[in-house]
Amino acid sequence: MHEYSGMAKIQFPFTLGVGSGEPYPDGVILWTRLAPEPVHPTKPGGMPNRSVSVRWEVAEDAAFRTVLQAGTATAQPDWAHSVHVRVTGLRAGTEYFYRFTAEGHTSPVGRTKTAPDPLSEQPVRIGVISCQRYEHGYFTALKHLAAERPDVILHLGDYIYEYGKPANPAPGRYIRPLESTTECKTLGAYRDRYARYKTDKDLQAAHAAAPWLTLPDDHEVKDNYAGLLPGDGSSPSAFLKRRNAAFKAYYEHLPLRVKPVGNNSQFYRWRPYGKVADLMIVDARQYRDGRDMLGPTQEQWLTSRLRSSTARWKVIAQALFFAPRKFPLEPASSDAWDGFPQSRARVLAAVPGDLVVLSGDVHNAWAAELGNGVEFVTSSVTSHPPGTDGSAMLALNPHLKFFDGRRGYLLVTASMTEFTVDYRAVPYVDRTGAPVVTAGGFRVQDNKLQRTDL
């Protein structure tokens, strides 16, 4: 019974589920974190302060009759007992299943899929989500997204919200209380916040259903921060420490390829899907400087990537509303691309056509035409929307073609001949069991939007 003499046996440690991400044609990252007690006042995850061996297996089938690869990883206390396994040697464009075992316990099974090889014309199905505030309701949209079994899920930011529980929550809005009444500022607080979110079964189902590509926006660190400016009067050096803690916790809870080192956490990256789509994941948050949205290094990377891309669709995946907007009453948002018009113009000038921008952040669903491409804005998974008058905005902005005020996600299908998007919506998030409906559907035709559902 006491295999490890003198050490207490660890209780079931896979309480946060499993996940995979960063699909390459020959491999993926497998993720889990050992946390027998997800939120713990002194020990992260309720784990002992020692390393633990974790065995992983990759199989052809969900029943693990044909195990193709297996190995051992070490979960270390310094990284909150998270595990990031870099699997290689897999076949391109292929579905696989994986699981972990540690201390006599076996994890749930996850499904993943590698990216197609560079010359493939295989279509790709992408789920797109953002803004999942735990307190604001149930992640039913993620349960429906899991059931769609996309090839990959793109999370465009606000995976957690750093806020503490408010003293006087708005009635009907604070559905699932948090333990903590204080804003996350320390590594321990961010870790506990991710752990609380990741106990959610619908979030676990979405991670177990497909590989993810994730990008933090502001709330993974602090509301509306910009570059090294926290916006609350604290010094840039104190804020940098906080941002590093936040990004470390982000890495510990997601299937990322690149570990943060010192002050350096790079999230912008290129993820090709054969000849069909070049996904450019763009960080419009941490390199901001004055009127510069992306920082010179990232902008140079992005514009040269766009110029040299031969893929059928050039897809920019990023957090913030990209198209220009006029508002009926208030001035244009400065925490969106409207606050950085020269940066936006330089990005648009780098691509002749077939550009698709995917974005989130605003907690409502929109679609826009950009001239040489289109933009699809996903709604929030749960986060409460602002009081936006959608029809007034559509009337004032003829290039905006669609608004929906429900929570939900996007289901994108890209092929050599078509780019289509379905806006999936759930009618409520304040209780479980919401059905999913299609709020709208579009096809991209010569850089314009065509309705497919009317």
Nearer Cβ to Ca ion, position 158 or 252? 158
Nearer Cβ to Ca ion, position 309 or 382? 382
Contact status: 338 vs Ca ion (CB under 5 A): no
CB of 250 to Fe ion, least distance (A): 15
Site size for Fe ion (CB under 5 A): 3
Applying CB under 5 A, the span of 55-63, 127-135, 293-301, 423-431 interacting with Fe ion comes to 127-135
Contact status: 158 vs Fe ion (CB under 5 A): yes
Contact status: 383 vs Fe ion (CB under 5 A): yes
Closest CA to 132 of 379, 359, 390: 379
Nearer Cβ to Fe ion, position 131 or 160? 131
Nearer Cβ to Ca ion, position 200 or 218? 218
* CB-based closest residue to Ca ion: 217
Which residue of 22, 202, 218, 220 would you call a contact of Ca ion, by CB under 5 A? 218
Contact status: 382 vs Fe ion (CB under 5 A): no
Would the CA dihedral through 443, 449, 450, 453 be positive or negative? Answer: positive
Contact status: 283 vs Ca ion (CB under 5 A): no
Q: Report 74-93 residues binding Fe ion (CB under 5 A).
A: none
Closest CA to 143 of 445, 450, 424, 356: 424
Residue 315 CA to residue 437 CA, distance in Å, equals 25
Closest CA to 360 of 250, 216, 194: 216
CB of 25 to Ca ion, least distance (A): 32
Residue 317 CA to residue 217 CA, distance in Å, equals 12
CB of 379 to Fe ion, least distance (A): 10
CB of 384 to Fe ion, least distance (A): 9
187-198 helix and 201-209 helix, angle to the nearest 10 degrees = 80
Applying CB under 5 A, the span of 168-176, 211-219, 259-267, 411-419 interacting with Ca ion comes to 211-219
Closest CA to 410 of 209, 204, 153, 202: 153
Applying CB under 5 A, the span of 151-159, 227-235, 284-292, 346-354 interacting with Fe ion comes to 151-159
Name every residue whose Cβ is closer than 8 Å to that of residue 454 and which is 6 or more positions away in sequence: none
Contact status: 162 vs Ca ion (CB under 5 A): no
Q: Report 307-326 residues binding Ca ion (CB under 5 A).
A: none
Q: In the numeric block, which tokens belong to residue 303?
A: 């514009």
Which residue of 90, 131, 154, 280 would you call a contact of Fe ion, by CB under 5 A? 131
Nearer Cβ to Fe ion, position 151 or 158? 158
Closest CA to 372 of 388, 390, 357, 389: 357
Nearer Cβ to Fe ion, position 131 or 206? 131
Residue 422: beta bridge partners?
Answer: 411, 441
CB of 190 to Ca ion, least distance (A): 16
- Measured CA distances, 145 to 15, 150, 273, 311 (Å): 21, 8, 20, 26
Residue 34 CA to residue 43 CA, distance in Å, equals 12
383 binds, among Fe ion, Ca ion, none (CB under 5 to 8 A by kind): Fe ion
218 binds, among Fe ion, Ca ion, none (CB under 5 to 8 A by kind): Ca ion
Give the H or E element holding residue 366: strand 365-369
Contact status: 361 vs Ca ion (CB under 5 A): yes
Contact status: 217 vs Ca ion (CB under 5 A): yes
187-198 helix and 236-252 helix, angle to the nearest 10 degrees = 30
Contact status: 135 vs Fe ion (CB under 5 A): no
Closest CA to 174 of 133, 221, 218, 143: 133
CA count, 13 A, side-chain hemisphere, 192: 21
Query: Which residues contact Ca ion (rule: CB under 5 A)?
Result: 158, 217-218, 361
Query: Which residues contact Fe ion (rule: CB under 5 A)?
Result: 131, 158, 383
